[in-house]
Structure 1
Amino acid sequence: MTTIDTRMSVEFSCAGTKLAAWHYPGSNGACVVMTGGLGVTKEPATDRFGQAFHAAGFSVLAFDHRGIGASDGMPRQVQTMRGQAADWEAAIGFAADLPEVDPARIAAWGFSTSAGHVVRLAGRRRGLAAVIAQSPNVDGPTATRNAARYQRPVAMLRMTGRGLVDVIAGLVGRPARLIPLGGAPGEVAVLTTPDGVLADTALNPGGSHPDWLQAVAARSTFGVMAFRPGREAARITCPALFVVCDDDRSVLPGPGLRAAADAPSGELVRLRGGHYAPFLDEHDVAVRTEVEFLQRHLCTE
């Protein structure tokens, strides 16, 4: 039986909102809680890594944030940092109650913006056994300034305008105004960086996840701009693995390297390639490194 055949659909609640997840029951008592970056649902973000963790004996809980994928939450495609942080707390609490899971052996895994969330979680709460921050966005202002270098001025003005209009639309109960997650310079999109345009190739090869809506509400970008979870790195008390890509042009490697150095129990792995290298040429290295890290810190004799 393959790993994907052994997972099951589950749901849990966060402040009355039902969140959808995949649960892969494991055999070693430890659990990895996972989700994707901004606007990225659990299937494209976590399937390949989650299956590898499960094959190594770990339970896995991979969930969709509110407002996207199979989770409830209105308005759709609106992503806020506060809401996502609450979703993470609810997911970890749910994982702790799974029958095969030891609550003292739960790890959090995130990619890009969700990697920033696991850094902030580990800095603000106790009880996590380990965290993995892959291609981490730990400094939103730096990432935003960098992204602006690869965008054309007129497109930047259009995106800002669309975001402001979307904020007003939200205040009067209108549907969200969506923008694509990735695009070419001159297009209105969250990322127009050289590696940002590889999102579909890396996460959705051959259109394997046709239900993934690769867009978010324009207002969602404002929260990312002010997101600075790297400030929490020095407060992390559990082992923390930072997987940083040397040629990352979407979030830049520098903030991730500094966060890894600041974390008292931080470990650093540097990969060749851009933001999506862990899903592309460096996938095998990333998986092998992350499984070994989890085994060292979550598995008991």
Structure 2
Amino acid sequence: MTNINCKFIQSETQESIKIFEVKAKTTKVCGTIILGNGIGGTMDCANKDLAKFFSHHGYNAIAFDYRHFGESDGSPRQLFSIKKQLEDWNSVISYTKKNSKNLNTTKLVLWGTSFGGSHTLTLGARRNDIDAIIAQCPNVDFLHTVLHTHPLRLLKLTINALLDIVGRSFGASPKLIPLVGELDSSALMVTRDAVLGYPRHASASRVWRNEITAGFALTLAFYRPIKEAHRITSSLLLCICNRDSIAIPDLAYQVVARAKNAKSVGYDCDHFELYEPQHTNQTLKDQLAFLATVLG
């Protein structure tokens, strides 16, 4: 019998979420890890492979695509919603808890990278049933991001956001902008590390698209996981890129200071270099060591 299960589960609003579930390949199951993507990412960029990796080390693992992205349902496509993505996390957590067969599989770990890491911090602050959290290069304060965006870029993002929201309210197709693009484009991310790194990170995916609905920009400044960090009681590991221009490392270190049971490991890389083998190999070693310590 195969240890991999690909299926759809229902979200809170009955739309379907595609999950990729891998059972531990050892006799002793240490816990269950749920893996979430960064903004615009799909689970076949890397998280399916990471789920297999963790299964070889004694963990059940579940990767998933947010609704409107990748292999999950949801229309229109490429619609980014913080609220919906947090609902998707909660739906996968509910599925995991419902299908836990013994005490060890109920030990629950949230693993998120980039925007997915931001979500794990929010969930850790709002739930009391998470045993451990691993957040890779999370942006912890999007208000800071907005305030430090060049005014002309901010104006362009705002205009496109209004065109998207107003247009969809009158039945028009979504206004899409690139996830990554050159400095003078209307893209969400225009830094050199993003332009070079994101397409390379997504190259393994057959469903990734360099597009996202523009309307999310009007809500971004209100998402501030750092403000809830003091409520996180789960064991927490932050993997921080010390040369990150997208998720400011100094703010991530502040989360470590505010959370009750947190530690950090810093890496000499930028946001997307963390996904390169020379850094991934080390982060995975650090994460396994962390899990072995906090899950016993």
Instruction: Report the TM-score, using the length of structure 2 for normalisation.
Output: 0.91
Partner of 2:68: helix, strand, or coil? Answer: coil
Bigger drift between 185-194 and 220-229 goes to 220-229
> Does the 8 A contact of 2:137 with 2:240 survive in 1?
yes
Question: What is the 5 A alignment of 1:45-194?
Answer: 45-100=46-101, 102=103, 104-146=106-148, 148-149=149-150, 153=152, 155-194=153-192
Measured in 1, the distance between the counterparts of 2:200 and 2:147 equals 24
> Does the 8 A contact of 1:14 with 1:87 survive in 2?
yes
Q: For residues 242-279 of structure 1, what are the alpha-carbon distances to aligned partners after superposition, in whole Å with 9 as ceiling and x for unaligned?
A: 11110000121111110011111001000111112321
Q: For residues 84-118 of structure 1, what are the alpha-carbon distances to aligned partners after superposition, in whole Å with 9 as ceiling and x for unaligned?
A: 11111111111112355645301001111111111
Partner of 1:22: helix, strand, or coil? Answer: strand
Distance 1:54 1:251, change over 3 A: same
Match of 2:20 in 1: 22
Q: For residues 114-149 of structure 1, what are the alpha-carbon distances to aligned partners after superposition, in whole Å with 9 as ceiling and x for unaligned?
A: 111110111111111100110011101112334x24
Measured in 2, the distance between the counterparts of 1:34 and 1:58 equals 12
Q: Please state if 1:11 is matched with 2:13.
A: no
Measured in 1, the distance between the counterparts of 2:228 and 2:86 equals 14
Measured in 1, the distance between the counterparts of 2:141 and 2:10 equals 29
Measured in 1, the distance between the counterparts of 2:173 and 2:194 equals 26
Measured in 2, the distance between the counterparts of 1:238 and 1:47 equals 25
Structure 1 residue identity aligned to 2:53 = A
> Does the 8 A contact of 2:242 with 2:267 survive in 1?
yes
Q: Please state if 1:254 is matched with 2:246.
A: no
> Does the 8 A contact of 1:25 with 1:100 survive in 2?
no
Partner of 2:219: helix, strand, or coil? Answer: helix
Deviation at 1:55, TM superposition (A): 1.6
> Does the 8 A contact of 2:42 with 2:207 survive in 1?
no
Match of 1:278 in 2: 274
Measured in 2, the distance between the counterparts of 1:76 and 1:202 equals 22
Deviation at 1:75, TM superposition (A): 1.9
> Does the 8 A contact of 1:202 with 1:279 survive in 2?
no
Partner of 2:10: helix, strand, or coil? Answer: strand
> Does the 8 A contact of 2:36 with 2:112 survive in 1?
yes
> Does the 8 A contact of 2:158 with 2:218 survive in 1?
no
Bigger drift between 95-104 and 240-249 goes to 95-104
Match of 1:296 in 2: 293
Structure 2 residue identity aligned to 1:68 = F
Match of 2:39 in 1: 38
Q: Please state if 1:287 is matched with 2:288.
A: no
Q: For residues 189-238 of structure 1, what are the alpha-carbon distances to aligned partners after superposition, in whole Å with 9 as ceiling and x for unaligned?
A: 1111232223335412xx32132112110112333332101111111111
Bigger drift between 168-177 and 240-249 goes to 168-177
Deviation at 1:176, TM superposition (A): 1.2
Structure 2 residue identity aligned to 1:295 = A
Deviation at 1:17, TM superposition (A): 1.1
For structure 2, the residue ranges without an aligned partner over 5 or more in a row are none
Measured in 2, the distance between the counterparts of 1:224 and 1:111 equals 17
Structure 1 residue identity aligned to 2:196 = L
Structure 2 residue identity aligned to 1:65 = Y
Distance 1:188 1:64, change over 3 A: same
Match 1:195 to one of 193, 196, 200: 193
> Does the 8 A contact of 1:32 with 1:61 survive in 2?
yes
> Does the 8 A contact of 2:241 with 2:271 survive in 1?
yes
Measured in 2, the distance between the counterparts of 1:45 and 1:254 equals 26
Measured in 1, the distance between the counterparts of 2:124 and 2:7 equals 25
RMSD: 2.0
Q: Please state if 1:245 is matched with 2:241.
A: yes
Structure 1 residue identity aligned to 2:145 = A
Measured in 1, the distance between the counterparts of 2:199 and 2:213 equals 22
